[in-house]
Structure 1
Amino acid sequence: MTKRLLILLGLLFSVAISAQEFKFENETIDYGKIAKNSDGKRVFEFTNIGDAPLIIENIKTSCDCAVPEKPEKPIMPGEKSTLTVEYDTSKTGGFSKIITIFSNAKNEVKKIRIKGYITK
């Protein structure tokens, strides 16, 4: 019984040591007031603060009006990278959209946000 407990503790400790994690410079990008049909592309910057390669597996948005681009290569520990979101600015009015990131990080799901107001 003691041997099994030691093996289990060893496994848990090894998983905790090699955790991936990332930190965003800003988790919300506020477009502010922008003109209709203006450039809707914005960039989120983040750093892999874990000790293993970070892999962004998928990104989903709360609507088809925001198109995300994820890094294709693994982000090495300490390395900075970007995630681009392009919002469709052809419709006027306020918006607030969630971008959900799925990765191999310690917290597998991360949510970031864009918001703003498109004027005529």
Structure 2
Amino acid sequence: MPETGQILVLAGRFDPTCDLVTSELNRRGVPVFRADMADFPLRLTLAASLDGDRWNGTLASDRRTLDLASVRSVYYRRPTRTRLPDGMSADGAIGPSAGIPSSPTPSSPSRCSTG
């Protein structure tokens, strides 16, 4: 019986080797969600929580949304570096100067997104 779940592929947008791997997975009917970390956090958003040993939440691009609980494996192949927007530092420190609250309010989900 084939395994169920999706494969999360983190790779650069222009990666011919990864293109071949992704094409073969698609040919075999394996669900694939490909993303480039260069799109985070402006065009790729993450809303996640850890519940015991399981991740819950979503990874969303402008075209698709991945349910993190459905990920069975990750193929990490040289994704492009993340480009942070003005007002957000590499250590994750954000604040009022960035127009983003420094901590989520009880009525809002924890989300790393700028828009």
Please give the range of the TM-score, normalised by the shorter of the 2 chains: under 0.3
Larger Rg: 1
* TM-score normalized by the length of structure 2: 0.27
Q: TM-score, normalised by structure 1?
A: 0.26
